Amino acid sequence: MLQAIFHAWERQLASVTKDRVVRPFDWGLDWIGAGGRPGEAPADVLAGWVSRVMADTDAFFTPPQISEYSLSAPLPDGDRVLTFPSAFATPHPENDRVHCRYVPAREAAAGGRRAAVLVLPQWNADAGGHVGLCRLLAWNGMTALRLSLPYHDARMPAELHRADYIVSANLARTVQVCRQAVLDARRAIAWLHAEGFERIGILGTSLGSCLSLLTTAHEPLIRAQALNHISPDFADVVWRGISTRHVREGLDGHIELDRLRALWRPISPRWYLERLHDRQTLLVYARYDLTFPVDLSRELVRLFREAAIPHELATLGCGHYSSGKAPFKFVDGWILVRFLRRALLQRTS
């Protein structure tokens, strides 16, 4: 009975958004600069590029170092805005300037430890998304840096109403824009480290959770990751989730799930789990989730267990959208912040 109630609520919450657009399928070869051999099928060109990426993902996800960071004067609420150039250039200049909201810790951590958490919100989060969570982190002695994902809020070009270009039926563009998010996250972490933060964590929700794991797998400065809504495979969430039905509609008739999984390997968590043995991880999923189907979340938990990767697990008694509603958002926030406080401020090893 509870499942039926929550599933009905999830569908109702998902239906509130009326501006989803079915965009045409595209292999996206213009996003990888690869023409292929004469007569080579686009699918094969893209598959060859993916194979090269997977042969050296450190090169793919490592940005050049920069010094062009700009931190604004304090806003009326005491927060500040950090901006810097993205390491990946897109056709939209406004998207290539990274914006982060800097929320300083409200009190010094015990023992003088300086801890910071990079926060990656969910797909289509507006500029205020997760700011409350950042304040909760700050009240618990951890500075928060909330990164606006590519094509979100201040980074969104006038032609968009939603952040469609980071998840869409354009295959290579989806990979490259998710890669851009990881490169941006690593530059943000480099800035935190240069500012003297010794203990750095990352917190991601939904799409932000996937991007957080990819970042952790390639960024040695991250000590702990809190992953809120989880799946081992990017393609399966898009294929089956109720939030991405419009993306699936653009894919239908052009590609099968197995091939989509193969082409989206660079942005799928399952391929990076062996890199996580020396980090602390919190896995959170919702029992009645229809956006990140529960069997996918449980599959990632199983993979962590089988590989003996250190982790903690929390299950929410709600769904994906309803985890953002009271009282579940308070429970979720408490679970996430409690883990990061222990991992960054209390543990000595």
Residue 287: the pLDDT is 97
Query: In the predicted model, is pLDDT for residue 336 greater than 70?
Result: yes
Domains in the chain: ranges and CATH: 2-346 (3.40.50.1820)
Least confident of 14-23, 246-255, 278-287: 14-23
Alpha-carbon distance values, 52 to 32, 38, 265, 272 (Å): 12, 19, 11, 16
Residue 345: the pLDDT is 94
CA 101 to chain centre: 16
Query: In the predicted model, is pLDDT for residue 19 greater than 80?
Result: yes
pLDDT one-digit tens code per residue, 125-160: 999 999 999 999 999 999 999 999 999 999 999 999
Residue 251: the pLDDT is 98
pLDDT one-digit tens code per residue, 30-41: 999 876 677 899
* 270 contacts 239 by C-beta, under 8 angstroms: no
pLDDT one-digit tens code per residue, 169-226: 999 999 999 999 999 999 999 999 999 999 999 999 999 999 999 999 999 999 999 9
pLDDT one-digit tens code per residue, 269-317: 999 999 999 999 999 999 999 999 999 999 999 999 999 999 999 999 9
CA-to-CA distance for 169 and 164, rounded, in angstroms? 9
Sheet of 222-228: strand order equals 70-71, 80-85, 97-103, 142-147, 115-120, 199-205, 222-228, 280-286, 312-316
- Residues 47-68 have a mean pLDDT of 97
* 261 contacts 175 by C-beta, under 8 angstroms: no
What is the SS3 assignment for 229?
A: coil
Share of the chain above pLDDT 70, in %: 97
Residue 172: the pLDDT is 98
Query: In the predicted model, is pLDDT for residue 113 greater than 70?
Result: no
